Structure 1
Amino acid sequence: MIVIAMGVCGTGKTLIGELLSEQLNCEFIDGDTYHSAENKNKMSQGIPLTDEDRFPWLQTIRKAIENKQKLGETAVFTCSSLKQAYRDILRGNDKNVRFVYLKGSYQLLKQRLAERKDHFFDPALLQTQLDTLEEPSANEAIFIDIRFTPQQIVEQIIQKLEI
């Protein structure tokens, strides 16, 4: 099984992904590590990424997912997965790729981003991400409210994954 923690910046994808991978005893892979230097540079300057910027990044993550599947391994990935088309690339034709949509209010996200240190993402891009976001359907993803503690969030995810 492949689990992808998705949502806009500030939802806690990395922390939740790391904690979830510990609980599932599997590898954690932060999708941001696959961004090109050009993409990271754009985001650090407050320049929103285009689909043309994102597609090679998404295809690289998809290849990593396929490699995990070939090995028969479970893994937890993080990727904002803002649009349906992006999730379609990441999922491919796999029924065992599960999205976990981490969702929070604008105020909570803004507060979390203001408290962040040493991250390439310019907090000014939050509204751009929210404008780009095409929320998944309840059939496509597990919805998780980020107001809870990280441990409570992970417990909810495991319960909803039914594993």
Structure 2
Amino acid sequence: MVKKQILYVMGVSGSGKSTIGKLLANKLQFPFFDGDDFHPEANVKKMKAGHPLNDDDRQGWLEKLNEVAIENLANGAVIVCSSLKKKYRTILSKNLEDKHKFVYLEG
């Protein structure tokens, strides 16, 4: 039996997060969530205009991904997002205790 937990698949752009995350979710029979789908409209507009997001832009987005994780603790989930900074992983880990792991992809 697979332990129900939250798996954050992290890595730089183009490292295969979505591809590997979907395969992993399918294998484990966990729901899959692409972090990009949870960006607020202001972030999407900023990125489309070619401007990088800063930590302030990411704060609410990371908090939302943490909420998604908490909502899925009972069944487990695979959530993909870059989460390259320690402080981002701290936000994503809030209230998850030992029920989550970060899977780092090097591309």
TM over 0.5: yes
Residue 65 of structure 1: how far off its partner (Å): 0.7
SS at match of 2:27: helix
SS at match of 1:90: helix
Q: Which has the higher contact order (CA 8 A, sep 6+)?
A: 2
Give the distance between the partners of 1:60 and 1:85, measured in 2 at CA: 15
* Gapped regions of structure 2 (runs ≥ 5): none
Q: Is 1:79 aligned to residue 97 of structure 2?
A: no
Residue 12 of structure 1, aligned match among 6, 13, 16: 16
Match in the other structure for 1:103: 106
Give the distance between the partners of 2:47 and 2:106, measured in 1 at CA: 21
**Aligned amino acid, residue 106 of structure 2:** K
**Aligned amino acid, residue 81 of structure 1:** S
Give the distance between the partners of 1:62 and 1:25, measured in 2 at CA: 20
Give the CA RMSD over aligned residues.
Answer: 1.0
Residue 28 of structure 1, aligned match among 28, 32, 46: 32
Give the distance between the partners of 1:16 and 1:77, measured in 2 at CA: 11
**Fraction of identical pairs, as percent:** 44
Larger helix proportion of the pair: 1
The 5-angstrom pairing of residues 110-149 of structure 1 reads none
Give the distance between the partners of 2:70 and 2:77, measured in 1 at CA: 11
SS at match of 2:67: helix
Match in the other structure for 1:92: 94
Q: Which has the larger radius of gyration?
A: 1
Q: TM-score, normalised by structure 1?
A: 0.60
Match in the other structure for 1:109: none
SS at match of 2:50: coil
Query: After superposition, what is the alpha-carbon deviation per residue over 1:132-154, rounded to whole angstroms, capped at 9, x for unaligned?
Result: xxxxxxxxxxxxxxxxxxxxxxx
Residue 18 of structure 1: how far off its partner (Å): 0.5
The 5-angstrom pairing of residues 52-71 of structure 1 reads 52-69=56-73
Residue 74 of structure 1: how far off its partner (Å): 1.1
Give the distance between the partners of 1:44 and 1:8, measured in 2 at CA: 18
Q: TM-score, normalised by structure 2?
A: 0.90
